[in-house]
Amino acid sequence: MAINKLLLTFAICRLIVTVGLTVDPAELLRLGVDGQLSVDPSDVEIASLDFGLLSRAEPMAVLRPASAEDIARLVRAAYNSAGGFTVSARGHGHSINGQAQTSSGVVIEMSRRSGGGQLGGLGNPNPPQVSVKEMHADVWGGELWIDVLRSTLEYGLAPKSWTDYLYLSVGGTLSNAGISGQAFNHGPQISNVHELDVVTGKGEILTCSEEENSKLFHAVLGGLGQFGIITRARISLEPAPHRVRWIRVLYSSFSSFTRDQEYLISLYGNPPSQKFDYVEGFVIVDEGLINNWRSSFFSPRNPVKISSIGSNGGVLYCLEITKNYYQSTVDTIDQEVEYLLKKLNYIPSSVFTTDLPYVDFLDRVHKAELKLRSKGLWDVPHPWLNLFVPKSRIADFDKGVFKGILGNKTSGPILIYPMNRNK
Ligand SMILES: Cc1cc2nc3c(=O)[nH]c(=O)nc-3n(C[C@H](O)[C@H](O)[C@H](O)COP(=O)(O)OP(=O)(O)OC[C@H]3O[C@@H](n4cnc5c(N)ncnc54)[C@H](O)[C@@H]3O)c2cc1C
């Protein structure tokens, strides 16, 4: 059965060793970590906020760990101290509602990159280790997915399941789920992990997997940072495709749109040539949107005027699909795409196609980020909402929300994509 994931935002939770608090910051500085324990106001300020810019909590100190042992030392101190104090892992701080913040405790800055993406002073003591034979990579919990991709591509390999945006940390997305258009096929990112090293609430460092400490493994994956701090993840890899055919088609009928989305994800068991590799979509309630969010890859060759297409109640739905290919399959890609498109019921005049290197497709949102940053529109509050809606109620949702509450008054991105519950 399919469910639809609506991205009006991504949000969720906060971490770990929570007990009261009264600890002298000077005591913390005597912990003797190899990394940096900072009470510098500028470090504290960064850790007080996140991408949402909606909530603020000021920690007492910030730890930039040099190793998993540094993290374990801090958590043991929290666990053993008389008053106790809170500890929160912060990946890249791209939560919306303070999930990685803690007031008065210690925030552990897992990523070595700043909010803008630059590498910080400690460099990277644990670069990804790729095993070509086993087709996996061992990566530091604070590694950003963009850096995992760059490292694995050196071996012609890449992770299988993604988020739309790659400047997120491995620990941060594995604490949620890590979902994008590939999830119908491979499952979310948490379904593509073989093994983890985790610092538990008592400050032990444990390895866990399906076979070893399996309860911890399943608690930490999607555990919202509440069951331990991921310091290493073993990520499953596949041969990296060379290029991507990226297609957008439009619908004025919501039922045709969802029927086609559900049909496409039902093909997950088919051979690679007989299914798309990525299925997403978005809702267009505002004329400006289709030529705006993430779509500079299509324009100016493919500008769209909603009024020229004719929409039902002012709302259009855009199905986004891709087909990966290799040098060896370059001769058949046109045929494969044509065969799959024939089965769909989109508005015939509305096929928009582009073709680009695999990396450029995966890193597409960064291009939008740079554009928004240059206009001062990235570091602004992000009141986003993320919902899973069952297939049985998605038509009601369309009627009540897209055609009802929203009208044509919103210009923010509204992603809507189908998920297989069994993945
Ligand atoms: C522009 C943008 C696009 C996005 N696109 C997608 C998308 O396509 N798909 C999707 O699934 N999500 C998406 N998200 C949401 C994103 O995946 C989550 O917000 C994710 O938690 C952010 O990762 P982060 O590294 O910034 O984590 P943070 O915000 O730093 O932390 C998130 C949570 O994880 C915990 N945590 C962080 N590191 C660790 C660790 N090493 N061990 C244990 N717990 C830890 C934190 O304590 C906190 O609870 C997007 C977010 C943004 C801002």
Q: Which of 239, 261, 278 is the last residue of a domain?
A: 239
Is 182 in contact with 152 (CB distance < 8 Å)? Answer: no
Asked if 308 and 268 sit in the same domain, the reply is yes
Q: Which candidate, 185, 256, 178, 265, places its Cα nearest to that of 4?
A: 265
Residue 121 vs residue 130, higher pLDDT: 130
CATH number at residue 363: 3.40.462.10
- Look at residue 71 and tell me whether its pLDDT is greater than 70: yes
Is the residue at 2 inside a domain?
no
Domain that holds residue 407: 243-420
Determine the pLDDT at residue 124.
Answer: 63
Q: What is the pLDDT of residues 289-300, one digit of tens each?
A: 555 544 667 754
Asked if 300 and 220 sit in the same domain, the reply is no
315 alpha carbon – ligand 1 mean position (Å): 30
Ligand 1 pocket: which of 6, 163, 235 to mutate (most atoms within 8 A of CB): 163
Q: What is the pLDDT of residues 395-412, one digit of tens each?
A: 999 999 988 888 666 667
101 alpha carbon – ligand 1 mean position (Å): 12
Residue % of the chain over a pLDDT of 90: 73
CATH number at residue 52: 3.30.43.10
Distance of CA 152 to the CA centre of its chain: 18
Determine the pLDDT at residue 1.
Answer: 43
Q: Ligand 1, atom 15: nearest CA belongs to which residue?
A: 10
- Look at residue 254 and tell me whether its pLDDT is greater than 60: yes
Segment 158-184 mean pLDDT: 97
- Model confidence at 8, pLDDT cuts 50, 70, 90, reads very low
- Single out the catalytic residue among 50, 70, 280, 369: 280
Is the residue at 116 inside a domain?
no
Segment 210-230 mean pLDDT: 97
- Look at residue 3 and tell me whether its pLDDT is greater than 60: no
Query: Taking the CB of residue 10, how many other CB atoms lie within 10 A of it?
Result: 25
Segment 361-385 mean pLDDT: 94
171 alpha carbon – ligand 1 mean position (Å): 8
| Collapsed DSSP state (helix, strand, coil) of residue 50 | coil
Cβ partners under 8 Å of residue 58, min gap 6: 44, 48, 103, 104
332 alpha carbon – ligand 1 mean position (Å): 37
Asked if 184 and 94 sit in the same domain, the reply is no
CATH number at residue 208: 3.30.465.10
Asked if 410 and 299 sit in the same domain, the reply is yes
Is the residue at 4 inside a domain?
no
Determine the pLDDT at residue 125.
Answer: 64
Q: Is 94 a catalytic residue?
A: yes
Determine the pLDDT at residue 112.
Answer: 84
Cα–Cα distance, 1 to 400 (Å, whole number): 23
Which atom of ligand 1 is nearest the CA belonging to 415?
A: 8
Cβ partners under 8 Å of residue 297, min gap 6: 246, 354, 356, 360, 364, 367
| Collapsed DSSP state (helix, strand, coil) of residue 284 | strand
- Model confidence at 270, pLDDT cuts 50, 70, 90, reads very high
Write down the mean pLDDT value for the chain: 87
Q: Which of 239, 256, 275 is the last residue of a domain?
A: 239
- Model confidence at 245, pLDDT cuts 50, 70, 90, reads very high
DSSP label of 20: -
Q: How many domains does the chain have?
A: 3
Asked if 155 and 48 sit in the same domain, the reply is no
- Look at residue 109 and tell me whether its pLDDT is greater than 60: yes
Determine the pLDDT at residue 12.
Answer: 29
- Look at residue 123 and tell me whether its pLDDT is greater than 70: no
Is the residue at 3 inside a domain?
no
Q: Ligand 1, atom 35: nearest CA belongs to which residue?
A: 225
User: Omega into 41 within 30° of 0, i.e. cis?
Assistant: no
DSSP H or E segment with residue 340: helix 333-341
Among 78-82, 288-292, 377-381, the range scoring the smallest mean pLDDT is 288-292
Query: Taking the CB of residue 175, how many other CB atoms lie within 10 A of it?
Result: 30
Is the residue at 329 inside a domain?
yes
Segment 271-275 mean pLDDT: 94
- Look at residue 122 and tell me whether its pLDDT is greater than 70: no
Segment 186-208 mean pLDDT: 97
- Single out the catalytic residue among 43, 50, 94, 320: 94
Asked if 208 and 326 sit in the same domain, the reply is no
Q: Which candidate, 304, 268, 307, 278, places its Cα nearest to that of 289?
A: 304
Asked if 59 and 176 sit in the same domain, the reply is no
- Model confidence at 304, pLDDT cuts 50, 70, 90, reads low
Determine the pLDDT at residue 423.
Answer: 86
Phi, psi of 215 (to 5 degrees): -65, -40
Helices assigned H by DSSP within 64-136:
68-80
Residue % of the chain over a pLDDT of 70: 84
Asked if 247 and 235 sit in the same domain, the reply is no
Q: What is the pLDDT of residues 35-50, one digit of tens each?
A: 999 999 999 999 999 9
Is the residue at 286 inside a domain?
yes
Asked if 158 and 272 sit in the same domain, the reply is no
> Residues with beta carbon inside 6 Å of ligand 1?
10, 13-15, 50-51, 88-95, 99-100, 110, 141, 163-165, 168-169, 171-173, 175-180, 224-225, 229-230
Is the residue at 117 inside a domain?
no
Q: Is 164 a catalytic residue?
A: yes
The residue count of the chain comes to 423
Asked if 71 and 219 sit in the same domain, the reply is no
Q: Which of 64, 80, 109 is the last residue of a domain?
A: 109
Is the residue at 150 inside a domain?
yes
63 alpha carbon – ligand 1 mean position (Å): 19
Is 227 in contact with 18 (CB distance < 8 Å)? Answer: no
Asked if 305 and 402 sit in the same domain, the reply is yes
Determine the pLDDT at residue 10.
Answer: 28
Asked if 249 and 381 sit in the same domain, the reply is yes
Helices assigned H by DSSP within 141-221:
145-153, 170-174, 183-186, 214-220
Which atom of ligand 1 is nearest the CA belonging to 50?
A: 29
Cα–Cα distance, 43 to 107 (Å, whole number): 10
